[in-house]
Amino acid sequence: MSGDRSATALILVDLQNDFLPGGALPVKDGDAVVPVANRLQSCFPLVVATRDWHPANHVSFAENHPGKHVGDTIEVGGRPQRLWPVHCVVNSFGAAFPTGLDTARVAEVVHKGIDPHVDSYSGFFDNDHVNSTHLADYLKQHHVSTIYLAGLATDYCVKATALDGLSLGFKVALIADACRGIDLSHGDVARSIEEMRAAGAKIVQRDDVLAGRA
């Protein structure tokens, strides 16, 4: 994936206030990704950002299920649904990009998780893979064949975006040290990286990208 990057895009996954320390659903050291994301952007001709954009009655919020708690798993439409704290509600501070994130080069913002009845980890599809965002079409319109991923969280939204990108025919590179994970069960992040690798993603490091070696 080195060399000419004219057909590449950097996708910044869910760099939002609620996923940073102090937010409603913080990812440990998630704030460390922000300056790295700023540096990486200049390496790519196209930068896209995804963000959760949930209505207040979203199915993933524990408070919308009486008697249930954060961390519980319920069944929705025949699929398991983990319950989370209220986070990234439309137009809230938690849903906004952090002030430290340079968005001047972000050409497109893709909102996901907008349907109250189904969660959406991936930047491409809802979790039921019935409804899609406009991300794939946007990338194809810009003749993108390879996507590089950075952001939050490695073992959830980054992984889902990587796997869906591969299924759609994109080459995918995970910038592993430009992501942070939740690791609810110890080893989740490592297992997720191996799952992405096994599916065909290339695992790279930020210094290789910055030096043009990745």
The catalytic residue positions are 14, 112, 157
Q: Please give the Cα distance from 89 to 114 (Å, whole number).
A: 9
- DSSP letter, residue 92: S
Q: Which residue has the tokens 């320390």?
A: 21
In angstroms, the CA 201 to CA 140 distance is: 19
Strand (E) positions, 45-166? 47-52, 73-76, 79-82, 106-112, 146-152
- Tell me if 43 sits within 8 A of 122, measured CB to CB: no
Both tokens of 76, joined, read 């929705």
Count Cα neighbours of 131 within 13 Å in the Cβ-side half-sphere. Answer: 14
